[in-house]
Amino acid sequence: MNCVKLKLLAGLVWLFLLVEGSFNQGFKISLAGSESISVVLAEAAAKVVKIVGAGGYLGLEPHQTGILISRDGLVLTAWSHVLVEPGVTVILADGRRFTGEVLHVNPRLELALLKIDTECETWFDLQHSTAKAEPGTWVYALSNVFGIATGREPVSIQRGIIAGKGPLEGRRGNAGPVFRGEVLFLDFVTTNPGAAGGALIDSSGKLVGMVGKPLFHEQSRIWVNYAIPAVALKDWFEEVFRAEEEATSPEPAGDSILPGMAGKSTESPELATGLTPEKLGILLIPQIVPQVPAYVEYVFP
């Protein structure tokens, strides 16, 4: 009987040691994974900027988020009322502040490209550091939610899953969504003031998309949490880059810049640079404030 008890006790001790070893091994793996993702998130947060501009009244938030996409200070963000104010403030992760100049705007994609006068140490490379995520993928959203970070404070980080893909349906004020492409729907709340333009990354730190602007779905009566896929960001940036190259390349002799101007002189500065919406007196208003009529602020001569 004593022999049986000893064998039983030895078996229990062996089982305890086995379970403890497995637990410790799993705990070590879990810790290693936590340390790894912490490094990834820290590196990604350094590529995210805070943007402060127009707003601060009638429910319009004066801040949003952007992502660095080049060494020479190009910032990709959401096109919104915040950027209407000339010379928006762009705050880097280390707290340095720069004046951002809006270089390009795509109202159809609701994207804007800004430029700050500095050389960046780290950025998202749209050519090599993007990923095409599928539904079910764990992702992290990095953004300046509620404008909490105003200096060296880190941006907020949210974790969730890509719930699906599809076209946008909803309303923003009295208008529907402008973006017509496929978006990534998220299972966590990213529709917060200041979050638009934030980075959506996977567990390896690759850019998956950009956090979209607030959008309300009338049928379900909920806010839509979504991101614009990285492939759409990449395609537009390449389009802008090609357009700039074509604009700076010399025009072939005899070719006209404007339709119907073949064979006519293009020495006029207006014709040499082409007509722009600004020259025609056309300006884009990204959002009309409710209960405030539109008005003429200034007429250019």
Q: Are 224 and 183 in contact (CB under 8 A)?
A: no
| pLDDT over 80 (residue 7) | no
Average pLDDT of the chain to the nearest whole number? 76
Closest CA to 69 of 102, 100, 115: 115
- At 214 the pLDDT is 83
pLDDT at 11: 57
Looking at residue 174, its pLDDT comes to 53
Better pLDDT: 74 or 288: 74
Q: What is the mean pLDDT of residues 5-16?
A: 55
What are 137-152's pLDDT values in tens digits? 999 999 999 888 888 8
User: Given a cut of 70, is residue 248 above it in pLDDT?
Assistant: no
H/E stretch holding 101:
strand 97-106
Least confident of 8-17, 20-29, 140-149, 203-212: 20-29
What's this model's pTM, rounded to 2 decimal places?
A: 0.70
For 184, residues 6+ apart whose C-beta sits below 8 A from its C-beta are: 133, 162, 164, 165, 200, 208, 209, 226, 227, 228, 229
230 has pLDDT over 90: yes
Residue 129 pLDDT = 74
Q: Which residue shows structure tokens 């722009």?
A: 276
Cα 40 to Cα 37: distance, rounded to the nearest angstrom? 5
Question: What are the sequence ranges of the domains in the chain?
Answer: 48-232
Q: What is the pLDDT of residue 197?
A: 95
Angle at 185 between CA 233 and CA 182, to 5 degrees: 45
Mean pLDDT value of segment 65-76: 95
Contact 116, 75 (CB under 8 A): yes
Confidence of residue 53 (pLDDT cuts 50, 70, 90): confident
**254 — pLDDT class (breaks 50, 70, 90):** very low
Q: Helix (H, G, I), strand (E, B), or coil: what is residue 255?
A: coil
Please write the tens of the pLDDT for every residue from 162-207: 999 988 765 555 555 566 778 999 999 998 889 999 999 999 999 9
Pick the more confident residue, 132 or 112. Answer: 112
CA distance 256 to 271: 9
296 or 125, which is more confident? 125
Q: How many residues does the chain have?
A: 301
Mean pLDDT of 78-90: 87
Residue that wins the pLDDT comparison between 197 and 282: 197
The CATH topology of domain 48-232 is Thrombin, subunit H (2.40.10)
Q: Across residues 82-97, what is the average pLDDT?
A: 90
Contact predicate 161/138, CB 8 Å: yes
Q: Whose CA is closest to 182, among 223, 141, 233, 140?
A: 233
Q: What is the DSSP string of 128-182?
A: TSB----TT-EEEEEE-GGG--SSSSPPEEEEEEEEEEEE---BBTTB--S--SE
Residue 26 has pLDDT above 50, yes or no: no
Where is average pLDDT lowest: 30-34, 70-74, 114-118?
30-34
